[in-house]
Amino acid sequence: MMKSLLIAAALLGVFSTAALGDDRYATRPPVVLSPDLAAPWIMQLGGGKVRPVVYQRPVVYQQRGLFAPRVAPRAVAQPVSAINPGVPVIRHPIEPQYLPQVVDYQTKENPGTIVIDTNNRFLYLVMEGGKARRYGVGVGKPGFEWAGAHKITRKSEWPDWTPPSEMISREAAKGHYLPARMDGGPENPLGARAMYLGSTLYRIHGTNAPWTIGSAVSSGCIRLRNEDVTDLYERVKVGTRVIVM
């Protein structure tokens, strides 16, 4: 008799736990995506037609201590991007030498020329009087380095991205599946602005991965932080000479 009662009680506990589990997830919480927009899988959500929503969690401050009065947490609003209002700014550290600055720069190139030093990861916009405005850049990874002289043939704000078929095949071999096309926007690898070089596939553009500035990570394009490429974009025009060395 006692054994039968124990078995019945155990079964009741199992069914109760299952019922509680069903109740717990009857209304499922919303999915919150990581703010790391460089995650490879984020590009697979609709091939650019469906843009994932990224929720920025507010920073919450609350008084602590044994005798502290009970108060409701206070949410602090996140800063938003100046170049795309409504998009939260996600801060990433960058080495000070890669921040924009005016430096001494002796060259035979005319003011207004862009010179890109890929070895040292700097882009120089030549100025009058032996000066240049210098920006930190990301450059081509090993095997994708190049050098030459071109002119800016086109400029685009929040450009869309159509990966070359060679890149799609190359990344697929690594398990990274790129979309055939991606609309312009904060999660687009080309970032906020793009300046196209000659008739090549190379560009000077922004990035959705600002922590890569100062590194050799691209397929040959020159990338800047979005705020920096926006600044450069406003200072140059179509026809500007660009020297990559």
Catalytic residues: 205, 221
Could you count the other beta carbons within 10 Å of the beta carbon of residue 104?
9
Tokens of 9: 């009680």
SS3 230: helix
CA separation for the pair 228, 192 (Å, rounded): 10
Q: Are 94 and 214 in contact (CB under 8 A)?
A: yes
Sort 149 into a burial class: Cβ within 10 Å, 0-12 / 13-18 / 19+: middle
Q: Phi, psi (5° rounding) for residue 175?
A: 90, 10
Contact 176, 166 (CB under 8 A): no
Burial class (CB in 10 A: 0-12, 13-18, 19+), 202: buried
Q: Which residue has the tokens 């002796």?
A: 106
What is the rounded distance in angstroms from the CA atom of residue 125 to the CA atom of residue 107?
11
DSSP 8-class letter at 13: H
Closest CA to 146 of 202, 210, 213: 202
Q: Are 189 and 206 in contact (CB under 8 A)?
A: no
